[in-house]
Chains A and B, each alone.
Chain A
């Protein structure tokens, strides 16, 4: 039986509310009746072993694959199976794990695409703002995205999604392919800043400890099912779960325990 922390009641009002979502890629569902929520200003992480269905869950939330059952509500509105371009208009920003930038476009054009829904004169202003968050991008505006390093690419992907000031950010393994140091920067500086800016943030992350350290709430997914819903700090403190769900023994938890 799933174990939950008692303080679920203390969480903010849900901005994203996922109820009983099942999803897959055409065959049998990979995710079974998963429920999760994220409030404004809240960072919510889904952890779990490889192949647990975490990315599939995110893709269904972000409108990239169809939901086979269940409901997704964003700001109170039913957005189940709404196409991704309509979700973007409703404030959902999604950064996929791979193919997260437009390879053949320059950095500047990638940002312009991120601001596709903005008015022409707003794109310039917004680009300036986003570059205050990622000043390193200023030097590479005219470079083609395919020529960027892994870290620069991820920075561009995050900058691109911020162009529309989304109220819900869905990040699929923002630190995959990044070094331990860079992962820490991405999580501790950028992702946690997103939470502080008032957006709801939903992350799937392999580097579970590092992600939990900056998160408010956590779900553990295994076998396509949400097994645990808990405050992130409580989950970090639970020694019994570490081996199974967080993969501490695999050596990817370089960040010291937060509690």
Chain B
């Protein structure tokens, strides 16, 4: 039992990283209707953007902000110049998934060509460790949790309190009706790419901060738990993604310490499968009832 408490600590950090990533992923899908499987690679690209800034002497936390900006702009351009070109010509959901897989491979290989196949790490000033109820956490890890909380609260306030947030939710549920209410849905979709891309960029950097080293496949390897968290909560539901992230994060780290670290992902998927058997639509889902998701 002695490893259980530290495992919960690790679980909370994994959950924080997953939550940022999964909320961005699910937001992107719900508003834009594109299941972007290059999401993990945009995370990696953003981590490299922060790496460049960091090694040019910029503080890591400022580099993280720059990575958020990079992720935002990169995602929006990815949609404008690649994805939207296919959507406009009538490519539907499954066709788009193939396009996003192609983009995933392209981004990975461009990163590989530019940065070479080796491992990278940030320069972070060593910080003290803190002990809470038996959990030992570093300053960076506490910061990661703090960032996750701020990001989740911001997403919540944005989507419930602001006009833009409501317009995003309206566009996600029923784009045609949103347009006939006067919403410029194209602009709302651009904003959704910017916002989800910023979350994606942040997630890329905090993922690397936690794992210490990274390469061109780091983000892609993390995509599977991201999708698991998003689907577990009900795809398209930000709160579901948060809940899914906590469930998957905690369960996989606890399993790693109690059973064996190599069973991490297996446990995450076992939970996902059981939940989906009981509740195929995910924990919180009611999205997509009026949405035209067609092949």
In the complex, the chain A residue whose C-beta lies closest to that of B176 is A64
Q: Which of chain A's residues have a CB closer than 8 A to the CB of B170?
A: 102, 105, 109, 113
Docked complex Cα distance between A215 and B184 (Å) = 33
Choose from A93, A104, A116, A164 the contact partner of B163 (Cβ within 8 Å).
A116
Q: Which of B103-111, B150-158, B264-272, B282-290 is near enough to bind chain A?
A: B282-290
Report, nearest first, the 8 A-B pairs whose CB atoms are least far apart. Answer: A88-B182, A84-B179, A117-B182, A84-B180, A99-B290, A94-B180, A103-B290, A104-B173
Verify if B178 is at the interface (C-beta below 8 Å from A).
yes
Contact with B along A98-126 (1 / 0, CB 8 A): 11111111000100111011001000000
Q: A83–B179 contact, CB under 8 A?
A: yes
Verify if B42 is at the interface (C-beta below 8 Å from A).
no
Choose from A104, A112, A164 the contact partner of B182 (Cβ within 8 Å).
A164
Q: A89–B287 contact, CB under 8 A?
A: no
In the complex, the chain B residue whose C-beta lies closest to that of A164 is B182
Verify if A224 is at the interface (C-beta below 8 Å from B).
no
Q: What is the interface size of chain B, counting residues whose CB is below 8 A from a CB of the partner?
A: 22
Residues of A within 8 A of B (CB): 62-64, 83-85, 87-89, 92-94, 96, 98-105, 109, 112-114, 116-117, 120, 144, 146, 160, 164
Docked complex Cα distance between A102 and B291 (Å) = 10
A79 to chain B, nearest CB (A): 13
Choose from A109, A146, A164 the contact partner of B289 (Cβ within 8 Å).
A146
Verify if B293 is at the interface (C-beta below 8 Å from A).
no
Q: Which of chain A's residues have a CB closer than 8 A to the CB of B169?
A: 102, 104-105, 109
In the complex, besides A93-B180, A103-B173, A103-B290, 11 extra interface pairs with C-beta distance below 8 angstroms are: A84-B179, A85-B182, A88-B182, A99-B177, A102-B174, A102-B177, A104-B286, A105-B173, A113-B181, A116-B181, A120-B163
In the complex, the chain A residue whose C-beta lies closest to that of B289 is A103
Verify if B172 is at the interface (C-beta below 8 Å from A).
yes
Docked complex Cα distance between A116 and B162 (Å) = 11
A111 to chain B, nearest CB (A): 10
Q: A96–B166 contact, CB under 8 A?
A: no
Given contacts A64-B176, A100-B177, contact A85 B183 (CB under 8 A): yes
B158 to chain A, nearest CB (A): 14
Verify if B167 is at the interface (C-beta below 8 Å from A).
yes
Docked complex Cα distance between A116 and B177 (Å) = 12
Docked complex Cα distance between A112 and B160 (Å) = 12
Q: Which of chain B's residues have a CB closer than 8 A to the CB of A116?
A: 163, 167, 181-183
Verify if B185 is at the interface (C-beta below 8 Å from A).
yes
Docked complex Cα distance between A234 and B166 (Å) = 46
In the complex, the chain A residue whose C-beta lies closest to that of B185 is A85
Can you spell out 25 A-B residue pairs with CB atoms less than 8 angstroms apart?
A: A64-B176, A84-B180, A88-B180, A94-B180, A96-B176, A98-B290, A99-B290, A100-B177, A101-B174, A102-B178, A103-B174, A104-B172, A104-B173, A104-B289, A105-B166, A105-B169, A105-B170, A105-B173, A109-B169, A113-B167, A114-B181, A116-B163, A116-B167, A144-B286, A164-B181
